Chains A and B, each alone.
Chain A
Amino acid sequence: MYSDDYLYTKEHEWVRVENGEVTMGITHHAQEELGDIVFVELPEVGKVLAAGDTLGSIESVKAVSDVYAPVSGEVIVANDLLTDKPELINQEPHGGGWIAKIRLSEKSELDGLLSADDYEAYLGEEKKH
């Protein structure tokens, strides 16, 4: 379920790093918790964010959830497909349902993210509570 090619956050986002750019979305677990997604508020391209800033929001039938920037940097692309097809996040959370690409400004921040194993262990911990 959770690819070793990605890194993860405790806020249930994933990132894939390529040439100093980060593609990010929410994890399978996050979309499952939210349920049917009906609206995605995307970040503005060009916006500069610090890690942990609110990047956008996702609304499902039952709840609204903020999406946080997993790393600091400038938003270079947002996935406009989600405007008309928000359900892509439910269908392909780790693929076609990506949310944004960010130009990474602090490469060292990646060291603070979770590996697939760590993320799965974290999900296991969360479940116990």
Chain B
Amino acid sequence: MNSETMKKTPLTEVCRASGGKMVPFAGYEMPVQFSSTMDEHLAVRRGVGLFDVSHMGEVFVTGPDALKLLQQLTCNNVEKLKDGQIHYSGLMYPEGTFVDDLLVHRFDERRYMLCVNAANRDKDVRWILEHQTGDVQVEDASDRYAQIAIQGPKALETVQPLVDVDLSAIKYYWFTEGHVDGVPAIIARTGYTGEDGFELYVANEPAPKIWQRLMETGRPFGVVPCGLAARNTLRLEAKMALYGNDIDNTTTVLEADLGWICKLQKDDFIGKAVLLKQKEEGLRRKLVGFEMLDRGIARDHYPVFVDGQPFGHVTSGSYAPYLQKNIGLAYLPAEHAAVGTKFAVEIRGKQVAAQVVETPFYKRSY
């Protein structure tokens, strides 16, 4: 893909001007790194970092039958959501595998916003439209929204001076509508880093100015712009799944160790029958977190060996900048998935010892 066919986010040029090293990602020209992935990662763990996440999709599902449709399409229990609440969920195939993973925001009983992966956006919208029944409208509003993530222990203090709502009143995984720098915004206390933080959804046009304002209000806390590489190492330390790596159309929500978003007691939803059966019969494999015991960094797609036999590959692997360990995720046979189990990762032709560990690798202490 060349730069002419790549889409720009409203913040692509701001990121480039700030020294972002731009790469193609999900069809967009996005910053992979600014100064240093390590510095960006640590800034988010210790202070605050800004991310352009405008590539993410925003899909509005509205109407009297919106709740019913989302209950049918996703595995978490949408009925439990209160106005202003958000949950993580999966858009399911009949096999109990992922069309996508997503955040569901409830404005009220008849209005929801789905935040979906950029690479899956068109597929998701098609899937939702194919299953649309009753009185419900589906609108892909992605091209109208910029999205900025402000992440880190100092995120609240960075955003508060620019908004007209009391951010401390918004609980984690809740949101409100307000204004940022005078501009209407959806202000959600969510993120993909394992830190406290906010994700601001605003119109495209004012986004660059808001980004600059956040760079100013965040300055006392050492704010830095962060790229996709730091976003990836941060989410991996927090064991948050990445679609296309850790989860996809071949992995079920149960295998992915995401049972907590899979509400098998709720009324029928797509995939439920297969997932119920899988739960009864037991899983064949399970996504685990591991640490390398010997020297070497396990990276995405490196082969995994259990008792000398090949068993899939590393779905995500990296040096973990905050933990200063080499960590990763992989599907292991369910009977070899307990914490403490040893296995091997083939790193450039050599089998190197690894061990299943408790996850998340990193959990914030505040």
Q: Which A residues fall within an 8 A CB radius of B?
A: 35-36, 38-39, 57, 59, 61-62, 64
Contacts and interface: CB of A to CB of B under 8 A. Distances in A.
B36 A64 contact: no
A62 B229 contact: yes
Given A36-B37, A62-B229, A64-B299, 11 more contacts: A35-B37, A36-B36, A38-B319, A61-B37, A61-B38, A61-B229, A61-B233, A61-B319, A61-B321, A62-B32, A62-B33
Contacts of B296: 39
A36 B296 CA distance: 15
Interface residues of B, number: 17
A57 B37 contact: no
Nearest to A36: B38
Q: Which 7 A-B pairs have the closest CB atoms?
A: A36-B38, A61-B37, A38-B319, A59-B297, A62-B229, A61-B319, A36-B36
Contacts of B151: none
B318 interface: yes
Contacts, number: 35
A64 B297 contact: yes
Contacts of A35: 33, 36-38, 229
B41 to A, nearest CB: 8
A39 B326 CA distance: 10
Q: Is the interface of A mostly helix, strand, loop or mixed?
A: strand
B297 A39 contact: yes
Nearest to A83: B295
A61 B318 contact: yes
Nearest to A39: B297
B82 to A, nearest CB: 40
Contacts of A39: 295-297, 319
A59 B33 contact: no
Interface in B264-301: 295-297, 299
Contacts of B39: 36
Q: Which of B33, B37, B38, B41 counts the most chain A CB atoms within 10 A?
A: B38
A62 B297 contact: no
Contacts of B33: 35, 62
